[in-house]
Homo-oligomer: A and B are copies of this chain.
C-alpha cells in the first residue's frame, strides 16, 4: 500500500522485482504484466514507460539471471586452484543455480532466442576450466576445448532441466543437485 512516487527509474527495478516475486511464487502460469503493475501500485499502463511490453520485462529478468549465474560460476571457479576440483565445482554450481533460482533459470531459457547470449560470460568460465583440464590431461585433449566445453555445458543443462522437472524419478533428488552434476561428470570422464 506504500504508493510512493517513483523517480529516476526506481519503478523499473520495482517492476523487475515484482516480476521475480510472482515467478518465484507461481511460475509462468501465474505471471501477468497487470499483476506486476498492481503489486507496484501503479496503473497497468505505467510499465510501458519502462518496457516495450511483457516480453521486454521478462528479458530484463532473464538478464539478471545471466548475471547471477555468471557470478555463481566465477565464485565456484575462484574457490580452488586444483583443476579437477574446479571443473567439478563449476558443474555443481550450474545445476545448483537452476535449483536455487528456478524462476530465473526457466525465464532465461524461455525468452525467444536471438536476443540472449545464453550466458556468453558463463560459457567462457567453463571454457577456461576445460582448457586447463585438457592441459593437465585430466580429460581427453582430442576434441577442441570449444567442442568439449559445449558437450559438458549441454550435459549440465540437460541435468538441470530434467532434474528440475522430475525430482523424484530418474533424475534424483535423493542426492543434492550439485552431486548430480559432479557424479555425472566424474562418471563420464572417470575422474
| Docked complex Cα distance between A165 and B154 (Å) | 12
Minimal beta-carbon separation of A31 from chain B (angstroms): 14
Query: How many copies, total?
Result: 2
19 more A-B residue pairs beyond the given contacts A118-B166, A142-B187, with a C-beta to C-beta distance below 8 A: A113-B164, A113-B166, A113-B167, A116-B165, A116-B166, A117-B169, A118-B169, A140-B187, A140-B190, A146-B170, A150-B171, A151-B155, A151-B159, A154-B162, A154-B184, A157-B158, A157-B161, A158-B158, A188-B188
Q: Determine if A109 is an interface residue (Cβ-Cβ < 8 Å).
A: yes
Chain A contact residues: over half helix, strand or loop, or mixed? helix
Give the chain B neighbours of A164 by CB distance below 8 A: 113
- Is A51's CB within 8 Å of the partner chain B? no
> Which residues of chain B are within 8 angstroms of A159 by Cβ–Cβ distance?
151, 154, 158
Q: How far is the CA of A187 from the CA of B150 in the complex (A)?
A: 11
Expressed in whole angstroms, the Cα–Cα distance for A113 and B173 within the complex equals: 14
List chain A positions with a Cβ less than 8 A from chain B: 29, 109, 112-113, 116-118, 123, 140, 142-143, 146-148, 150-151, 153-159, 161-162, 164-167, 169-171, 183-184, 187-190
Give the most central of A109, A113, A150, A165: most B CB within 10 Å. A150
